[in-house]
């Protein structure tokens, strides 16, 4: 999909796995979470292009150069009785910021959500990332006050899975 100004948005292909991993690592550096990235090319290839893909990626290019990406997947709302679109990661490389690429990616995902009859499009944002929060507010996004993210991972996840009481 051509978005104008030399911007092209396209679905990731299997050959893009190294690029996607590089973009994930750049995002993790920005978010000060580099140590949290344990994904490798094999895991990503299976998650994105295996027998049961868990997520999708849109690559943003400017004049043929990879400039950013969005990784997303479907959720389901029991209250709405419909699936939703969940944005896991959105990242624009610093050299390409300020050119409307983030807006193009968000519009593209919103259009996908509408085309796929999703009841909602949602994501989380780090509370210290004021520029991103301001950007999302300008798009019409509203914070979900009263909700906090809960997570079980690693040893705690394994312990929960084997808990007998």
Q: CA-based angle 23:41:57, to the nearest 5?
A: 50
Output the pLDDT for position 2.
Answer: 60
**Burial category of 132 from C-beta neighbours within 10 Å (exposed 0-12, middle 13-18, buried 19 and up):** middle
Q: Please state, in angstroms and as integers, the Cα–Cα distance from residue 53 to each residue in 14, 24, 29, 66, following that order.
A: 12, 18, 26, 23
**Rounded distance, CA 133 to CA 124, Å?**
10
Output the pLDDT for position 165.
Answer: 82
Output the pLDDT for position 3.
Answer: 62
**3-state SS assignment for residue 23:** helix
> Would you call 136 a catalytic residue per the annotation?
yes
Output the pLDDT for position 148.
Answer: 87
Q: Is pLDDT of 128 > 70?
A: yes
pLDDT, one tens digit per residue, over 14-57 is 999 999 999 999 999 999 999 999 999 999 999 999 999 999 99
Output the pLDDT for position 84.
Answer: 97
Work out whether strand 121-123 and strand 65-77 pair parallel, antiparallel, or are unpaired.
Answer: unpaired
Catalytic residue among 16, 18, 136, 162: 136
pLDDT, one tens digit per residue, over 46-87 is 999 999 999 999 999 999 999 999 999 999 999 999 999 999
Query: Which ranges of the chain does DSSP label H, i.e. alpha helix?
Result: 17-30, 41-49, 101-115, 130-138, 154-161
Output the pLDDT for position 5.
Answer: 76
Q: Is pLDDT of 4 > 70?
A: no
pLDDT, one tens digit per residue, over 83-111 is 999 999 999 999 999 999 999 999 999 99
Q: Where are the domains of the chain?
A: 2-161
| CATH 3.40.630.30 is right for the domain spanning 2-161 | yes
């Amino acid at each position: 999909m051509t978005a104008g100004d030399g911007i092209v948005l396209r679905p990731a292909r299997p050959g893009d796995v190294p690029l996607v991993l590089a973009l994930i690592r750049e995002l993790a550096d920005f978010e000060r979470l580099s140590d949290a990235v344990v994904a490798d090319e094999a895991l990503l290839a299976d998650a994105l292009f295996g027998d049961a893909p868990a997520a999708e990626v849109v690559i943003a290019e400017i004049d043929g150069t990879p400039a950013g990406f969005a990784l997303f997947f479907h959720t389901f709302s029991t209250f709405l009785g419909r699936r939703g679109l969940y944005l896991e990661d959105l990242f624009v490389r610093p050299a390409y910021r300020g050119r409307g690429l983030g807006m193009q990616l968000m519009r593209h995902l919103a259009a996908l959500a509408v085309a796929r009859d999703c009841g909602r499009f949602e994501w989380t944002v780090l509370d210290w990332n004021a520029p991103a929060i301001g950007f999302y507010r300008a798009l019409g996004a509203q914070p979900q006050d009263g909700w906090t993210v809960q997570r079980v991972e690693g040893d705690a996840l394994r312990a929960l899975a084997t808990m007998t009481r």
